[in-house]
Structure 1
Amino acid sequence: MHSRFDTRTAIVLPGTGSDARFAADAFSAAFESVGLTTIAVEPDPAAVVESYLTALDDAAHRHGRVVVAGISLGAAVAVRWAATNASNTAAVALALPAWTGDPAGSPAALSAEFTARSLREQGLDAVTAAMAASSPPWLARTLRRSWASQWPALPDALDEAARHRSPELHELARLELPAVVVGAVDDAVHPIEVGRQWARALPNCALRTVTLDDIGRDPGCLGRAAVDGLDGPQAQPPSC
Protein backbone atom coordinates (compact mmCIF):
# COMPACT_ATOMS: atom_id res chain seq x y z
CA MET A 1 0.00 0.00 0.00
CA HIS A 2 1.37 3.39 -0.98
CA SER A 3 2.02 5.48 2.11
CA ARG A 4 0.14 8.48 0.76
CA PHE A 5 -3.17 6.62 0.33
CA ASP A 6 -5.38 4.99 2.93
CA THR A 7 -7.49 3.23 0.33
CA ARG A 8 -7.10 0.52 -2.27
CA THR A 9 -9.61 1.99 -4.74
CA ALA A 10 -9.41 4.70 -7.39
CA ILE A 11 -12.33 5.91 -9.50
CA VAL A 12 -11.58 7.45 -12.92
CA LEU A 13 -14.07 9.50 -14.95
CA PRO A 14 -13.51 9.82 -18.72
CA GLY A 15 -13.67 13.00 -20.74
CA THR A 16 -16.39 14.14 -23.12
CA GLY A 17 -17.16 11.54 -25.78
CA SER A 18 -14.49 9.22 -24.38
CA ASP A 19 -14.93 5.93 -22.59
CA ALA A 20 -13.87 3.78 -19.67
CA ARG A 21 -11.27 1.94 -21.74
CA PHE A 22 -9.24 5.09 -22.37
CA ALA A 23 -9.59 6.15 -18.73
CA ALA A 24 -8.30 2.75 -17.64
CA ASP A 25 -5.44 2.89 -20.15
CA ALA A 26 -4.48 6.29 -18.75
CA PHE A 27 -4.53 5.47 -15.04
CA SER A 28 -4.82 1.80 -14.14
CA ALA A 29 -1.17 0.71 -14.49
CA ALA A 30 0.21 3.68 -12.54
CA PHE A 31 -2.41 3.33 -9.83
CA GLU A 32 -1.79 -0.41 -9.60
CA SER A 33 1.90 0.31 -9.01
CA VAL A 34 0.99 2.12 -5.78
CA GLY A 35 -1.55 -0.41 -4.54
CA LEU A 36 -4.75 0.98 -6.05
CA THR A 37 -7.38 -0.91 -8.04
CA THR A 38 -8.87 1.32 -10.73
CA ILE A 39 -12.59 1.48 -11.43
CA ALA A 40 -13.01 3.27 -14.77
CA VAL A 41 -16.54 4.56 -15.18
CA GLU A 42 -18.43 4.04 -18.45
CA PRO A 43 -20.46 7.20 -19.07
CA ASP A 44 -24.15 7.06 -19.79
CA PRO A 45 -24.40 9.37 -22.83
CA ALA A 46 -28.01 10.18 -21.96
CA ALA A 47 -26.94 11.55 -18.55
CA VAL A 48 -23.15 11.81 -18.35
CA VAL A 49 -22.68 13.85 -15.19
CA GLU A 50 -25.43 12.02 -13.32
CA SER A 51 -23.86 8.67 -14.22
CA TYR A 52 -20.50 9.89 -12.92
CA LEU A 53 -21.94 11.14 -9.65
CA THR A 54 -23.86 7.91 -9.15
CA ALA A 55 -20.68 5.89 -9.73
CA LEU A 56 -18.75 8.02 -7.24
CA ASP A 57 -21.46 7.73 -4.61
CA ASP A 58 -21.67 3.97 -5.12
CA ALA A 59 -17.89 3.61 -4.85
CA ALA A 60 -17.78 5.59 -1.62
CA HIS A 61 -20.60 3.47 -0.21
CA ARG A 62 -18.79 0.26 -1.13
CA HIS A 63 -15.19 1.20 -0.41
CA GLY A 64 -15.21 4.19 1.92
CA ARG A 65 -12.40 6.58 1.03
CA VAL A 66 -11.34 6.54 -2.60
CA VAL A 67 -8.87 8.30 -4.86
CA VAL A 68 -10.90 10.31 -7.39
CA ALA A 69 -9.51 10.99 -10.86
CA GLY A 70 -10.93 12.47 -14.03
CA ILE A 71 -10.05 13.61 -17.52
CA SER A 72 -11.41 16.87 -18.99
CA LEU A 73 -15.13 16.90 -18.10
CA GLY A 74 -14.40 14.01 -15.75
CA ALA A 75 -11.87 16.20 -13.92
CA ALA A 76 -14.47 18.91 -13.35
CA VAL A 77 -17.00 16.43 -12.00
CA ALA A 78 -14.36 14.67 -9.89
CA VAL A 79 -13.07 17.77 -8.15
CA ARG A 80 -16.55 19.09 -7.35
CA TRP A 81 -17.62 15.73 -5.93
CA ALA A 82 -14.45 15.59 -3.86
CA ALA A 83 -15.14 19.06 -2.48
CA THR A 84 -18.53 17.96 -1.18
CA ASN A 85 -17.37 14.48 -0.14
CA ALA A 86 -13.99 15.22 1.38
CA SER A 87 -14.37 12.60 4.11
CA ASN A 88 -14.69 9.93 1.41
CA THR A 89 -11.81 11.23 -0.74
CA ALA A 90 -8.18 10.29 -0.19
CA ALA A 91 -6.72 12.32 -3.06
CA VAL A 92 -7.68 13.93 -6.37
CA ALA A 93 -6.00 13.51 -9.78
CA LEU A 94 -7.20 15.93 -12.47
CA ALA A 95 -6.05 15.48 -16.06
CA LEU A 96 -6.55 17.99 -18.87
CA PRO A 97 -9.05 20.38 -17.25
CA ALA A 98 -10.83 22.26 -20.02
CA TRP A 99 -12.22 25.44 -18.45
CA THR A 100 -12.91 27.20 -15.19
CA GLY A 101 -16.42 28.27 -14.26
CA ASP A 102 -18.58 29.23 -17.25
CA PRO A 103 -17.83 27.09 -20.33
CA ALA A 104 -19.01 29.76 -22.80
CA GLY A 105 -16.38 30.49 -25.44
CA SER A 106 -13.88 27.90 -24.26
CA PRO A 107 -12.23 25.80 -26.99
CA ALA A 108 -13.52 22.51 -25.57
CA ALA A 109 -17.12 23.72 -25.24
CA LEU A 110 -17.09 25.21 -28.74
CA SER A 111 -15.68 21.96 -30.12
CA ALA A 112 -18.33 19.89 -28.35
CA GLU A 113 -21.12 22.13 -29.59
CA PHE A 114 -19.82 22.04 -33.18
CA THR A 115 -19.44 18.27 -33.13
CA ALA A 116 -22.91 17.76 -31.69
CA ARG A 117 -24.43 19.97 -34.39
CA SER A 118 -22.46 18.21 -37.13
CA LEU A 119 -23.52 14.79 -35.88
CA ARG A 120 -27.18 15.78 -36.02
CA GLU A 121 -26.82 17.24 -39.50
CA GLN A 122 -24.43 14.75 -41.14
CA GLY A 123 -24.63 11.56 -39.11
CA LEU A 124 -22.05 9.51 -37.26
CA ASP A 125 -20.15 8.03 -40.18
CA ALA A 126 -19.44 11.33 -41.94
CA VAL A 127 -18.41 13.18 -38.79
CA THR A 128 -16.24 10.28 -37.60
CA ALA A 129 -14.46 10.22 -40.97
CA ALA A 130 -13.82 13.97 -40.82
CA MET A 131 -12.57 13.70 -37.25
CA ALA A 132 -10.21 10.86 -38.15
CA ALA A 133 -8.81 12.80 -41.11
CA SER A 134 -7.89 15.78 -38.92
CA SER A 135 -6.79 14.04 -35.69
CA PRO A 136 -3.69 12.16 -34.56
CA PRO A 137 -4.11 8.42 -35.21
CA TRP A 138 -4.30 7.51 -31.52
CA LEU A 139 -7.09 10.02 -30.90
CA ALA A 140 -8.98 8.93 -34.01
CA ARG A 141 -8.86 5.29 -32.88
CA THR A 142 -10.05 6.17 -29.40
CA LEU A 143 -12.92 8.40 -30.50
CA ARG A 144 -14.02 6.12 -33.32
CA ARG A 145 -14.59 3.41 -30.70
CA SER A 146 -16.19 5.56 -28.02
CA TRP A 147 -18.36 7.60 -30.36
CA ALA A 148 -19.80 4.44 -31.92
CA SER A 149 -20.62 3.02 -28.50
CA GLN A 150 -22.39 6.23 -27.42
CA TRP A 151 -24.41 6.71 -30.60
CA PRO A 152 -27.21 7.82 -31.02
CA ALA A 153 -27.12 9.70 -27.69
CA LEU A 154 -23.66 11.14 -28.44
CA PRO A 155 -24.85 14.61 -29.58
CA ASP A 156 -26.81 15.03 -26.35
CA ALA A 157 -23.76 13.97 -24.34
CA LEU A 158 -21.61 16.55 -26.13
CA ASP A 159 -24.17 19.29 -25.55
CA GLU A 160 -24.38 18.37 -21.87
CA ALA A 161 -20.62 18.67 -21.56
CA ALA A 162 -20.58 22.02 -23.35
CA ARG A 163 -23.05 23.42 -20.80
CA HIS A 164 -21.37 22.00 -17.71
CA ARG A 165 -20.11 24.64 -15.30
CA SER A 166 -16.72 23.79 -13.85
CA PRO A 167 -15.68 24.90 -10.36
CA GLU A 168 -14.52 28.48 -9.94
CA LEU A 169 -11.04 29.14 -8.59
CA HIS A 170 -12.42 30.19 -5.21
CA GLU A 171 -14.19 26.83 -4.96
CA LEU A 172 -10.98 24.98 -5.73
CA ALA A 173 -9.19 27.04 -3.09
CA ARG A 174 -11.34 25.43 -0.38
CA LEU A 175 -10.29 21.86 -1.25
CA GLU A 176 -7.52 20.90 1.16
CA LEU A 177 -7.08 17.33 -0.08
CA PRO A 178 -3.86 16.12 -1.74
CA ALA A 179 -4.25 16.89 -5.44
CA VAL A 180 -2.42 16.82 -8.74
CA VAL A 181 -3.24 18.48 -12.05
CA VAL A 182 -1.80 16.97 -15.23
CA GLY A 183 -1.88 19.25 -18.26
CA ALA A 184 -0.70 18.87 -21.84
CA VAL A 185 1.47 21.82 -22.83
CA ASP A 186 0.44 21.67 -26.51
CA ASP A 187 -3.28 20.92 -26.21
CA ALA A 188 -5.34 23.77 -27.66
CA VAL A 189 -8.63 22.20 -26.55
CA HIS A 190 -7.51 21.81 -22.94
CA PRO A 191 -5.30 24.88 -22.49
CA ILE A 192 -2.35 24.40 -20.17
CA GLU A 193 -3.15 27.76 -18.56
CA VAL A 194 -6.37 26.26 -17.19
CA GLY A 195 -4.32 23.51 -15.60
CA ARG A 196 -1.92 26.04 -14.15
CA GLN A 197 -4.80 28.06 -12.71
CA TRP A 198 -6.32 24.98 -11.08
CA ALA A 199 -2.96 23.90 -9.64
CA ARG A 200 -2.32 27.36 -8.19
CA ALA A 201 -5.80 27.55 -6.69
CA LEU A 202 -5.80 24.12 -5.03
CA PRO A 203 -3.97 24.51 -1.69
CA ASN A 204 -2.21 21.12 -1.68
CA CYS A 205 -1.56 20.50 -5.36
CA ALA A 206 1.24 19.62 -7.75
CA LEU A 207 1.27 20.41 -11.46
CA ARG A 208 2.68 17.88 -13.90
CA THR A 209 2.87 18.27 -17.66
CA VAL A 210 2.92 15.98 -20.68
CA THR A 211 2.53 16.46 -24.44
CA LEU A 212 -0.05 15.11 -26.85
CA ASP A 213 2.68 12.96 -28.41
CA ASP A 214 3.36 11.49 -24.97
CA ILE A 215 -0.31 10.57 -24.63
CA GLY A 216 -0.37 9.14 -28.14
CA ARG A 217 2.61 6.90 -27.46
CA ASP A 218 1.21 5.76 -24.12
CA PRO A 219 -1.90 7.13 -22.39
CA GLY A 220 -0.43 5.72 -19.18
CA CYS A 221 1.83 8.77 -19.01
CA LEU A 222 -1.15 10.63 -17.54
CA GLY A 223 -1.37 8.18 -14.66
CA ARG A 224 2.38 8.14 -14.07
CA ALA A 225 2.48 11.93 -13.96
CA ALA A 226 -0.46 11.93 -11.54
CA VAL A 227 1.14 9.40 -9.21
CA ASP A 228 4.41 11.34 -9.27
CA GLY A 229 2.59 14.52 -8.32
CA LEU A 230 0.71 12.88 -5.47
CA ASP A 231 3.90 11.23 -4.26
CA GLY A 232 5.77 14.51 -3.91
CA PRO A 233 4.00 17.77 -4.71
CA GLN A 234 7.21 19.79 -4.39
CA ALA A 235 9.31 17.54 -6.61
CA GLN A 236 10.40 18.61 -10.08
CA PRO A 237 8.13 17.30 -12.87
CA PRO A 238 9.57 14.24 -14.59
CA SER A 239 9.78 13.71 -18.31
CA CYS A 240 6.91 11.44 -19.20
Structure 2
Amino acid sequence: DDVLAAADQAGIDRFVAGGVSMGAAIALRLACRHPKRVAALVMVRPAWTFAAAPPNMQPIAEVAELILEHGPDKARTIFAQTATATRLYHEAPDNLSSLLGYFDRPDAKAFAQVLANIAADGPGVSQHEVAALAIPALFVGNAMDAVHPLSSAYTLAATMPNAVFAEVTPKARDSKQHFSELHTEITTFLQSHSKVRSLIPS
Protein backbone atom coordinates (compact mmCIF):
# COMPACT_ATOMS: atom_id res chain seq x y z
CA ASP A 1 0.00 0.00 0.00
CA ASP A 2 2.83 2.40 0.82
CA VAL A 3 4.56 1.73 -2.49
CA LEU A 4 1.36 2.31 -4.43
CA ALA A 5 0.70 5.51 -2.48
CA ALA A 6 4.20 6.76 -3.33
CA ALA A 7 3.69 5.92 -7.00
CA ASP A 8 0.33 7.67 -7.02
CA GLN A 9 1.82 10.76 -5.39
CA ALA A 10 4.56 10.79 -8.03
CA GLY A 11 2.02 10.37 -10.80
CA ILE A 12 3.44 7.03 -11.91
CA ASP A 13 0.92 4.52 -13.20
CA ARG A 14 3.17 1.53 -14.06
CA PHE A 15 6.67 1.06 -12.75
CA VAL A 16 9.50 -1.35 -12.09
CA ALA A 17 9.18 -2.63 -8.53
CA GLY A 18 12.14 -4.13 -6.77
CA GLY A 19 13.97 -4.60 -3.55
CA VAL A 20 16.49 -6.52 -1.50
CA SER A 21 15.52 -9.36 0.86
CA MET A 22 12.19 -8.40 2.41
CA GLY A 23 11.94 -5.60 -0.16
CA ALA A 24 12.00 -8.27 -2.85
CA ALA A 25 9.15 -10.11 -1.13
CA ILE A 26 7.12 -6.90 -0.95
CA ALA A 27 7.75 -6.21 -4.64
CA LEU A 28 6.69 -9.73 -5.60
CA ARG A 29 3.49 -9.48 -3.56
CA LEU A 30 2.79 -6.09 -5.12
CA ALA A 31 3.13 -7.54 -8.62
CA CYS A 32 0.80 -10.44 -7.81
CA ARG A 33 -1.82 -8.27 -6.13
CA HIS A 34 -1.66 -5.33 -8.55
CA PRO A 35 -0.36 -6.71 -11.87
CA LYS A 36 -1.61 -3.71 -13.86
CA ARG A 37 0.67 -1.40 -11.88
CA VAL A 38 3.93 -3.36 -12.05
CA ALA A 39 5.71 -3.40 -15.41
CA ALA A 40 8.77 -5.38 -14.29
CA LEU A 41 10.51 -6.76 -11.20
CA VAL A 42 14.04 -6.45 -9.82
CA MET A 43 14.56 -9.01 -7.06
CA VAL A 44 17.89 -8.92 -5.23
CA ARG A 45 18.83 -11.70 -2.80
CA PRO A 46 15.24 -12.80 -2.07
CA ALA A 47 14.87 -14.53 1.29
CA TRP A 48 11.51 -16.16 0.53
CA THR A 49 10.03 -18.12 -2.32
CA PHE A 50 6.41 -19.01 -1.53
CA ALA A 51 6.18 -20.36 2.03
CA ALA A 52 6.20 -18.41 5.28
CA ALA A 53 8.94 -18.96 7.86
CA PRO A 54 11.40 -20.84 5.62
CA PRO A 55 14.37 -22.54 7.33
CA ASN A 56 16.77 -19.79 6.21
CA MET A 57 14.86 -17.36 8.46
CA GLN A 58 15.69 -19.44 11.54
CA PRO A 59 18.88 -17.50 12.46
CA ILE A 60 16.85 -14.28 12.61
CA ALA A 61 14.16 -15.97 14.69
CA GLU A 62 16.83 -17.34 17.01
CA VAL A 63 18.39 -13.92 17.57
CA ALA A 64 14.97 -12.36 18.18
CA GLU A 65 14.00 -15.00 20.72
CA LEU A 66 17.26 -14.59 22.64
CA ILE A 67 16.96 -10.80 22.80
CA LEU A 68 13.34 -10.96 23.93
CA GLU A 69 14.16 -13.50 26.64
CA HIS A 70 17.51 -12.22 27.91
CA GLY A 71 17.99 -8.65 26.73
CA PRO A 72 20.59 -7.68 24.10
CA ASP A 73 23.80 -7.92 26.15
CA LYS A 74 23.28 -11.38 27.61
CA ALA A 75 21.65 -12.58 24.41
CA ARG A 76 24.71 -11.62 22.38
CA THR A 77 26.96 -13.69 24.66
CA ILE A 78 24.63 -16.67 24.42
CA PHE A 79 24.26 -16.41 20.65
CA ALA A 80 28.03 -16.24 20.12
CA GLN A 81 28.27 -19.75 21.62
CA THR A 82 25.52 -21.32 19.51
CA ALA A 83 25.92 -23.75 16.64
CA THR A 84 24.19 -21.19 14.39
CA ALA A 85 26.82 -18.53 15.05
CA THR A 86 29.63 -21.04 14.48
CA ARG A 87 28.11 -22.22 11.21
CA LEU A 88 27.60 -18.69 9.91
CA TYR A 89 31.14 -17.70 10.92
CA HIS A 90 32.46 -20.34 8.53
CA GLU A 91 29.79 -20.34 5.82
CA ALA A 92 28.23 -16.89 5.72
CA PRO A 93 30.21 -14.27 7.70
CA ASP A 94 28.27 -11.39 6.15
CA ASN A 95 25.04 -12.81 7.61
CA LEU A 96 26.71 -13.20 11.00
CA SER A 97 27.82 -9.58 10.94
CA SER A 98 24.28 -8.42 10.20
CA LEU A 99 22.82 -10.56 12.98
CA LEU A 100 25.34 -9.29 15.52
CA GLY A 101 24.34 -5.76 14.60
CA TYR A 102 20.83 -6.41 15.91
CA PHE A 103 22.20 -6.76 19.45
CA ASP A 104 23.76 -3.29 19.27
CA ARG A 105 20.65 -1.38 18.25
CA PRO A 106 19.47 1.16 20.86
CA ASP A 107 15.96 -0.25 20.39
CA ALA A 108 17.15 -3.86 20.32
CA LYS A 109 14.41 -5.32 22.50
CA ALA A 110 11.57 -3.56 20.69
CA PHE A 111 13.09 -4.36 17.30
CA ALA A 112 13.48 -8.02 18.27
CA GLN A 113 9.71 -8.44 18.06
CA VAL A 114 9.80 -6.98 14.55
CA LEU A 115 12.51 -9.49 13.66
CA ALA A 116 10.44 -12.34 15.06
CA ASN A 117 7.45 -11.24 13.01
CA ILE A 118 9.54 -10.97 9.84
CA ALA A 119 11.09 -14.40 10.34
CA ALA A 120 7.65 -15.98 10.79
CA ASP A 121 6.09 -14.21 7.82
CA GLY A 122 6.17 -14.70 4.06
CA PRO A 123 5.25 -12.91 0.84
CA GLY A 124 1.76 -14.38 0.82
CA VAL A 125 1.91 -15.45 -2.81
CA SER A 126 1.59 -18.88 -4.38
CA GLN A 127 3.74 -20.54 -7.01
CA HIS A 128 0.75 -20.44 -9.36
CA GLU A 129 0.37 -16.67 -8.90
CA VAL A 130 4.05 -16.04 -9.57
CA ALA A 131 4.03 -18.31 -12.63
CA ALA A 132 1.15 -16.24 -14.02
CA LEU A 133 3.24 -13.05 -14.00
CA ALA A 134 4.19 -12.42 -17.62
CA ILE A 135 6.23 -9.28 -16.91
CA PRO A 136 10.04 -9.10 -17.29
CA ALA A 137 11.93 -9.85 -14.09
CA LEU A 138 15.51 -9.93 -12.87
CA PHE A 139 16.44 -12.24 -9.98
CA VAL A 140 19.89 -11.77 -8.46
CA GLY A 141 21.48 -14.06 -5.90
CA ASN A 142 24.85 -15.04 -4.55
CA ALA A 143 26.49 -17.88 -2.67
CA MET A 144 27.79 -17.66 0.92
CA ASP A 145 24.46 -16.30 2.13
CA ALA A 146 22.49 -18.47 4.54
CA VAL A 147 19.64 -16.00 5.04
CA HIS A 148 19.17 -15.26 1.33
CA PRO A 149 19.91 -18.59 -0.35
CA LEU A 150 21.01 -18.59 -3.97
CA SER A 151 18.39 -21.29 -4.50
CA SER A 152 15.59 -18.83 -3.64
CA ALA A 153 16.55 -16.48 -6.47
CA TYR A 154 16.95 -19.41 -8.85
CA THR A 155 13.61 -20.99 -7.90
CA LEU A 156 11.69 -17.75 -8.37
CA ALA A 157 13.41 -17.04 -11.69
CA ALA A 158 12.57 -20.53 -12.91
CA THR A 159 8.93 -19.99 -11.98
CA MET A 160 8.34 -16.81 -13.97
CA PRO A 161 8.18 -17.18 -17.77
CA ASN A 162 10.04 -13.94 -18.61
CA ALA A 163 12.61 -13.91 -15.83
CA VAL A 164 16.38 -13.56 -15.97
CA PHE A 165 18.60 -15.11 -13.30
CA ALA A 166 21.99 -13.67 -12.40
CA GLU A 167 24.57 -14.81 -9.86
CA VAL A 168 27.00 -12.22 -8.52
CA THR A 169 30.08 -12.37 -6.31
CA PRO A 170 29.14 -12.84 -2.63
CA LYS A 171 29.43 -9.78 -0.41
CA ALA A 172 31.28 -11.92 2.11
CA ARG A 173 34.01 -12.61 -0.45
CA ASP A 174 34.39 -9.18 -2.08
CA SER A 175 31.92 -6.44 -1.18
CA LYS A 176 33.17 -3.98 -3.79
CA GLN A 177 32.96 -6.55 -6.56
CA HIS A 178 29.52 -7.63 -5.35
CA PHE A 179 28.03 -4.16 -5.65
CA SER A 180 29.78 -3.49 -8.94
CA GLU A 181 28.31 -6.63 -10.50
CA LEU A 182 24.92 -5.94 -8.94
CA HIS A 183 24.91 -2.42 -10.38
CA THR A 184 25.78 -3.77 -13.80
CA GLU A 185 23.03 -6.41 -13.73
CA ILE A 186 20.34 -3.95 -12.63
CA THR A 187 21.47 -1.23 -15.05
CA THR A 188 21.53 -3.63 -17.99
CA PHE A 189 18.08 -4.94 -17.11
CA LEU A 190 16.54 -1.49 -16.69
CA GLN A 191 18.13 -0.21 -19.88
CA SER A 192 16.64 -3.14 -21.77
CA HIS A 193 13.25 -1.93 -20.52
CA SER A 194 14.01 1.78 -20.77
CA LYS A 195 10.46 2.75 -21.70
CA VAL A 196 9.32 1.82 -18.21
CA ARG A 197 9.70 4.43 -15.49
CA SER A 198 11.19 2.90 -12.37
CA LEU A 199 10.48 3.08 -8.69
CA ILE A 200 12.68 0.73 -6.65
CA PRO A 201 12.00 0.46 -2.88
CA SER A 202 14.85 -0.92 -0.81
Contact kept, 8 Å, 2:60 with 2:116, in 1: the verdict is yes
Cα distance per residue 1:199-231 (max 9 Å; x no partner): 011121111112233663366343432333444
Determine if the alignment matches structure 1 residue 97 to structure 2 residue 46: yes
Cα distance per residue 1:113-141 (max 9 Å; x no partner): 1111011123224445747x947479737
State the partner residue of 1:220.
179
Distance (whole Å) between structure 2 residues aligned to residue 164 and residue 86 of structure 1: 22
Contact kept, 8 Å, 1:138 with 1:216, in 2: the verdict is no
Distance (whole Å) between structure 2 residues aligned to residue 218 and residue 143 of structure 1: 24
Cα distance per residue 1:171-201 (max 9 Å; x no partner): 2111122210011123222221121110011
Distance (whole Å) between structure 2 residues aligned to residue 100 and residue 161 of structure 1: 14
Give the alignment's TM-score, normalised by structure 1. Answer: 0.62
Determine if the alignment matches structure 1 residue 158 to structure 2 residue 115: yes
> Which of 26, 36, 39 in structure 2 is aligned with 1:87?
36
Distance (whole Å) between structure 1 residues aligned to residue 96 and residue 109 of structure 2: 20
> Which of 116, 120, 144 in structure 1 is aligned with 2:68?
120
Supply the AA of the counterpart residue of 1:193: S
State the partner residue of 1:144.
101
Determine if the alignment matches structure 1 residue 58 to structure 2 residue 5: yes
State the partner residue of 2:16.
67
Distance (whole Å) between structure 2 residues aligned to residue 67 and residue 157 of structure 1: 27
Determine if the alignment matches structure 1 residue 195 to structure 2 residue 142: no
Contact kept, 8 Å, 1:182 with 1:195, in 2: the verdict is yes
Q: 1:175 to 1:137 in 2, by over 3 A?
A: closer
Pairwise CA RMSD? 3.1
- List runs of 5+ in structure 2 lacking aligned partners: 194-202
- List runs of 5+ in structure 1 lacking aligned partners: 1-52, 234-240
Distance (whole Å) between structure 2 residues aligned to residue 169 and residue 81 of structure 1: 15
Contact kept, 8 Å, 1:181 with 1:226, in 2: the verdict is no
State the partner residue of 1:174.
132
> Which of 166, 170, 184 in structure 1 is aligned with 2:142?
184
Select the structure of larger CA radius of gyration: 2
Give the alignment's TM-score, normalised by structure 2. Answer: 0.72
The number of equivalent residue pairs is 178
Distance (whole Å) between structure 2 residues aligned to residue 160 and residue 83 of structure 1: 22
Contact kept, 8 Å, 1:185 with 1:192, in 2: the verdict is yes
**Sequence identity (%):** 28
Contact kept, 8 Å, 1:71 with 1:94, in 2: the verdict is yes
Q: Secondary structure at the match of 2:161?
A: coil
Q: 1:186 to 1:230 in 2, by over 3 A?
A: farther
Name the structure, 1 or 2, with higher relative contact order (CA <8 Å, separation 6+). 2
Cα distance per residue 1:70-103 (max 9 Å; x no partner): 1122211111112222332232111111232223
Q: Secondary structure at the match of 1:70?
A: strand
